[in-house]
Chain A
Amino acid sequence: MNKRAKITTGVVIGFAAVCFSWTVVSMSAQAAPGVQEGFDWSGEKIYNRYNDTPLQAMTGTDGRRTLNTFYERRQYPGSPPIVPHKVAEAFSGDTAKCISCHGRGGYDAEQDAYAPVTPHPENENCFQCHVPITTENLFVESDWESVSPSRLGRSMMGGSPPPVPHSLQLREDCIACHTGPGAVAEIRVEHGSRGNCRQCHVPQVTTTTFERNN
Chain B
Amino acid sequence: MKLNRRSFIKSAAAGSAIAAAGSIFPGISFANWKEQTGSAGQITWKKAPCRFCGTGCGVLVGVSGDRAVAVKGDPNCSVNKGLCCVKGFHVVQALYGKDRLRTAKVRRGGKMVEVPVSEALDIIAAKMKQTIKETGKDSVAMYGSGQWTIPDGYVASKLFKGCIGTNNVEANARLCMASAVTGFLTSFGTDEPMGCYEDIEHADVFVTWGNNMAEMHPVLFSRMLASRKRRGNVEIIDLATRSTRSSQASDKSILFKPNTDLAVANAICYEIIRNDWVNWDFVKKHTTFHKGKTNIGYGTEDHFKFKDAPEDISFEEYKEFLSDYTPKKVEKISGVSARDIKYLASLYGDPSKKCTSFWCMGMNQHVRGTWINNLVYNIHLLTGKISTPGNSPFSLTGQPSACGTVREVGTLTHKLPHGVVMKEAHRKMAAEIWDVPLTNIDPKPTYHTVEMFRALDRGDIRFIWIQVTNPMITMPNLTRYRNGALKDDRFIVVSDVYPTPTTDVADVVLPAAMWVEQEGMYGNSERRTQHFDRIVPGPGETMSDTWQIIEVARRLGYEKQFPWGEDEYIGKIWEEYRRFHDSPKHNMAPYDVLKKRSGVQWPFVDGKETRWRFNSKYDPACKPGSEFDFYGKKDGKAWIWARPYEPAAESPDDEYDFWLNTGRVIEHWHTGTMTRRVPVLHRAVPESYVEIHPEDAMNLGVTNGEMVKIISRRGEVTMKASIDGRGKPPRGMVFVPFFDESYKINEVTLDAFCPISKQPDYKKCAVRLEKA
Residues on A lying within 8 angstroms of B by beta carbon are 5, 7-9, 13, 18-19, 22, 25-30, 32, 35-38, 66-68, 71-80, 82, 89-90, 92-94, 122-125, 127-149, 151-152, 167, 169-170, 186, 207
In the complex, which range does the number of interface residues on chain B fall in? 35 or more
Cα A141 to Cα B2 with chains together (Å): 13
Q: Which residue of B lies closest to A25 (CB)?
A: B12
**Contact (Cβ within 8 A) B218 A128:** yes
8 more contacts with CB within 8 A, not counting A38-B75, A92-B248, A140-B676, are A22-B15, A26-B40, A26-B42, A30-B43, A68-B28, A75-B679, A128-B219, A148-B9
**Contact (Cβ within 8 A) A94 B248:** yes
**Contact (Cβ within 8 A) A90 B36:** no
Stretch at the interface among B77-85, B254-262, B551-559: B77-85
Residue from B11, B20, B27, B75 within 8 A of A18 (CB atoms):
B20
Cα A203 to Cα B194 with chains together (Å): 41
Contacts A19-B18, A93-B245, A137-B686 given; does A27 touch B28 at CB 8 Å? no
Cα A25 to Cα B42 with chains together (Å): 11
Cα A71 to Cα B60 with chains together (Å): 21
Contacts A67-B28, A129-B89 given; does A29 touch B43 at CB 8 Å? yes
> For B21, B33, B680, B681, which residue has the most chain A Cβ atoms within 10 angstroms?
B33
**Contact (Cβ within 8 A) B27 A139:** no
Interface of B is mostly: mixed
> Which residues of B lie under 8 Å from residue A36 when comparing CB positions?
75-76
> Which residues of A lie under 8 Å from residue B75 when comparing CB positions?
35-38, 169
Residue from A29, A135, A145 within 8 A of B67 (CB atoms):
A145
> Which residues of B lie under 8 Å from residue A80 when comparing CB positions?
86, 89
> Which residues of A lie under 8 Å from residue B726 when comparing CB positions?
89-90
B189 at the interface (CB under 8 A from A): no
Cα A138 to Cα B676 with chains together (Å): 8
> For A5, A71, A76, which residue has the most chain B Cβ atoms within 10 angstroms?
A76
**Contact (Cβ within 8 A) B32 A71:** yes
The B9-42 residues at the A interface (CB cut-off 8 A) are 9-12, 15, 17-18, 20-21, 24-25, 27-36, 39-42
B758 at the interface (CB under 8 A from A): no
**Contact (Cβ within 8 A) A141 B98:** yes
Residue from A73, A82, A148, A207 within 8 A of B35 (CB atoms):
A148
Residue from A124, A128, A130, A142 within 8 A of B679 (CB atoms):
A142
Cα A190 to Cα B635 with chains together (Å): 72
Q: Which residue of A lies closest to B225 (CB)?
A: A124
Cα A82 to Cα B681 with chains together (Å): 10
Cα A76 to Cα B63 with chains together (Å): 12
> Which residues of B lie under 8 Å from residue A130 when comparing CB positions?
86
B420 at the interface (CB under 8 A from A): no
**Contact (Cβ within 8 A) A146 B69:** yes
Interface 0/1 of B43-58, CB less than 8 Å to A: 1110000000000000
Contacts A135-B683, A139-B682 given; does A149 touch B249 at CB 8 Å? no
> Which residues of B lie under 8 Å from residue A186 when comparing CB positions?
28-29
Cα A66 to Cα B72 with chains together (Å): 24
Cα A148 to Cα B445 with chains together (Å): 55
Q: List 25 A-B contacts (CB under 8 A).
A: A7-B28, A19-B20, A19-B21, A26-B42, A30-B43, A38-B75, A67-B29, A68-B30, A71-B29, A72-B32, A78-B70, A90-B725, A122-B229, A124-B226, A125-B222, A128-B218, A131-B667, A136-B683, A139-B682, A140-B97, A144-B96, A145-B67, A148-B35, A169-B72, A170-B73
Residue from B72, B82, B222 within 8 A of A128 (CB atoms):
B222
Q: Which residue of A lies closest to B678 (CB)?
A: A142
Contacts A35-B60, A142-B93, A142-B98 given; does A149 touch B684 at CB 8 Å? no
> Which residues of A lie under 8 Å from residue B45 when comparing CB positions?
32, 35
**Contact (Cβ within 8 A) B72 A167:** yes
> Which residues of B lie under 8 Å from residue A66 when comparing CB positions?
27-28
B724 at the interface (CB under 8 A from A): yes
> Which residues of B lie under 8 Å from residue A136 when comparing CB positions?
683
Cα A148 to Cα B43 with chains together (Å): 11
The B337-355 residues at the A interface (CB cut-off 8 A) are none
Enumerate the 10 nearest inter-chain pairs by beta-carbon distance, A residue then B residue, closest first. A131-B684, A19-B21, A92-B248, A128-B218, A139-B676, A141-B98, A146-B69, A28-B41, A76-B70, A124-B225
